[in-house]
């Protein structure tokens, strides 16, 4: 049964429905610690001097699931190291960023890790006795379509949470991730949701000022073992804001019916553990891919090359330029990755940064 999570804005509290599926969370050895200062004010103390967390890459949209479906994948991701700053209560500082080529701001108000850290401290519900210093290790390229900003935000939120003994469940930290995403790429949870929670996540509701409702979709262990994602990232940056600017304001009824049908089939494929159905449904978006695809040199040729090499389907990962294909055999995946890479080079005149065959990440953010 799917896990249903209703996440209210901070002032409204949080309610959640339980599920038989367990979300794996590793906590620090020590528990949350409070102290009472003169005057009766309660402060939350860190339980350790330093905490590190990793959050994985994600594939958002999955074809017809634009803005309402995403999943976490194994392989790359971002790591954030958080250190306590004694005597600087509530302060957030970005100490260093590695792997970004100097492009990201060290201003906490202008960087997704700073926003996520600040929002996490607010969600703890009381004053903290120290500040936090953040160091970001970027493992994902910027503007890659693999949830780069979401991975940074998820890792920052989980690491700050861990510094104080992990008093917040992952579902509540979605709010911190959403605030971070809104600051850099838009208010959407199809990357940060799966990066925090792991697995497949359906976004049932996500509007500013309204309850956020997520459904974590279970997939059988056998299907998760056979499901493989082929991710090919060309040397081309596709900023999310620019890719959103080309989206249509209205769509024909026939297109809406097609995408509704294929989106339903995608969910059915996940719940049934049908890898072929997942791939075929992912391949049949007729609303978003037709307007974004032409902006990524060679994308349509890559899509055809993937299927010709044995993939069940291929589409754009997130806002691109990474292309994602679905296979049920890693050996087929290697062949598909080579064909997709060749198509990017020949049809798109683009060099390829990475080509990898990866599996679903069921855990999401974790302490490292």
256 and 122 in one domain? Answer: no
**58, 120, 135, 240: which is the annotated catalytic residue?**
240
User: Among candidates 178, 157, 179, which has minimal Cα distance to 168?
Assistant: 157
Query: Is 351 among the domain residues?
Result: yes
DSSP state letters, 141-152: -TTSSS-HHHHH
Question: pLDDT value at position 125?
Answer: 80
CB neighbour burial string for 49-64, b if at least 16 within 10 angstroms, e if fewer:
eebbbbbbbbbbbbbb
**Are 129 and 25 part of one and the same domain?**
yes
Query: What helix, strand, coil percent values describe the chain, rounded to 5?
Result: 35, 25, 40
Same domain, 318 and 213: no
Domain match, 283 and 136 both: no
Choosing from 181, 315, 322, 354, the catalytic residue is 181
Residues 6+ apart with CB under 8 A from 266: 62, 63, 64, 65, 69, 277, 278, 281, 282
Residue 368 lies in a domain: no
Same domain membership, residue 242 and residue 165: no
Alpha-carbon gap, residue 184 to 177, rounded angstroms: 11
- Catalytic residue check, 280: no
Among 355, 358, 329, 326, smallest CA distance to 342 is for 355
The Cα 231–Cα 356 span in angstroms is 5
Beta-carbon contacts of 236 under 8 Å, excluding residues fewer than 6 positions away, are 296, 297, 321, 348, 350
End-to-end CA distance of the chain: 30
Give the Å distances, CA to CA, from 313 to 174, 200, 307, 342: 30, 18, 6, 17
What does each C-alpha distance from 294 to 111, 167, 237, 241, 313 come to in angstroms? Answer: 30, 46, 14, 16, 18
In the DSSP assignment, the letter for residue 191 is T
* Contact by Cβ (8 Å): 187, 180: no
Predicted local distance difference test score (pLDDT) of residue 42: 61
Q: 275: which 2 tokens?
A: 């890898």
pLDDT along the chain (368 residues), means of 10: 41 36 36 45 85 98 97 97 95 96 94 97 89 97 93 98 96 95 88 98 92 95 97 88 88 98 98 98 98 95 98 96 98 98 98 98 98
Q: Quick check: is 127 in a domain?
A: yes
Same domain, 211 and 91: yes
- Asked whether residue 365 is domain-assigned, the answer is no
Which CATH number goes with the domain that contains 265?
3.30.70.890
Question: What residues are paired with 159 via a beta bridge?
Answer: none
CA gap 361, 346 in Å, rounded = 32
Residue spans of beta strands (DSSP E) within the chain = 3-7, 15-16, 33-36, 42-45, 50-60, 69-86, 92-98, 127-128, 130-137, 200-205, 212-217, 228-234, 313-316, 323-327, 352-358, 366-367
Question: What is the pLDDT at residue 210?
Answer: 87
Indicate whether 242 and 322 sit together in one domain.
Answer: yes
State pLDDT tens for residues 161-214.
999 999 999 999 999 999 999 888 788 899 999 999 999 999 999 988 888 999
Choosing from 218, 245, 273, the residue where a domain stops is 218
| Domain closes at, from 155, 186, 218 | 218
- For residue 167, is it within any domain? yes
Coil/strand/helix, residue 274: coil
Domain co-membership, 19 together with 81: yes
- Residue 364: inside a domain: no
How many domains would you assign to the chain? 2
Nearest-angstrom CA–CA distance, 77 and 73: 9
Answer yes or no: is 137 within a domain: yes
User: Which domain CATH number covers 47?
Assistant: 3.30.230.10
d(CA 319, CA 296): 10
CB 150 within 8 A of CB 177: yes
Within-domain flag for 363: no
Take residue 32 and report the two structure tokens written for it. 């949350």
284 with 198, same domain: the answer is no
Its domain, for residue 337, covers 221-358
Task: For residues 140 and 87, state if they share a domain.
Answer: yes
**Same-domain status, 116 and 193:** yes
| Residue 95 falls in the annotated catalytic set | no
Residue at a domain's end among 158, 192, 218: 218
Same domain, 351 and 325: yes
């Amino acid at each position: 049964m799917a896990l249903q999570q209703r996440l209210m804005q901070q002032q409204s509290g949080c309610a959640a429905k339980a599920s038989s599926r367990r979300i794996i969370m590793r906590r620090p050895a020590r528990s949350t610690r409070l102290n009472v200062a003169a005057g009766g004010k309660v402060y939350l103390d860190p339980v350790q001097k330093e905490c590190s967390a990793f959050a994985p890459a994600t594939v958002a949209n999955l074809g017809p699931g634009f803005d309402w479906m995403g999943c976490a994948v194994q392989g790359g991701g971002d790591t954030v190291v958080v250190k306590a700053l004694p005597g600087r209560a509530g302060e957030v500082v970005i100490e260093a960023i590695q792997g970004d080529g100097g492009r990201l701001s060290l201003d906490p108000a202008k960087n997704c890790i700073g926003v996520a850290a600040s929002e996490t401290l607010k969600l703890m519900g009381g004053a903290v006795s120290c500040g936090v210093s953040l160091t970001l290790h970027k493992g994902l390229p910027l503007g890659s379509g693999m949830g780069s900003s979401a991975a940074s935000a998820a890792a920052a939120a989980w690491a700050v949470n861990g510094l104080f003994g992990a008093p917040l469940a992952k579902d509540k930290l979605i709010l911190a991730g959403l605030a971070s995403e809104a600051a850099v790429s838009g208010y959407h949870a199809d990357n940060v949701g799966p990066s925090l929670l792991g697995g497949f996540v359906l976004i049932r509701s996500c509007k500013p000022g309204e309850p956020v409702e997520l459904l974590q979709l279970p997939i059988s262990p056998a299907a998760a073992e056979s499901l493989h994602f082929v991710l090919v990232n060309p040397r081309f940056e596709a900023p999310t804001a620019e890719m959103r600017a080309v989206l249509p304001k209205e769509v024909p009824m026939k297109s809406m019916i097609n995408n509704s049908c294929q989106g339903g089939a995608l969910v059915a494929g996940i719940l049934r553990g049908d890898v072929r159905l997942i791939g075929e449904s992912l391949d049949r978006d007729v609303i978003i891919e037709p307007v974004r695809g032409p902006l990524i040199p060679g994308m349509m040729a890559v899509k055809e090359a993937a299927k010709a090499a044995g993939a069940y389907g291929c589409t754009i990962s997130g806002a691109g330029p990474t292309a994602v294909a679905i296979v049920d055999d890693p050996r087929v995946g290697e062949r598909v990755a080579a064909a997709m890479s060749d198509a990017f080079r020949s049809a798109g005149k683009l060099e390829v940064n990475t080509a990898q065959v990866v599996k679903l990440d069921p855990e999401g953010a974790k302490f490292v």
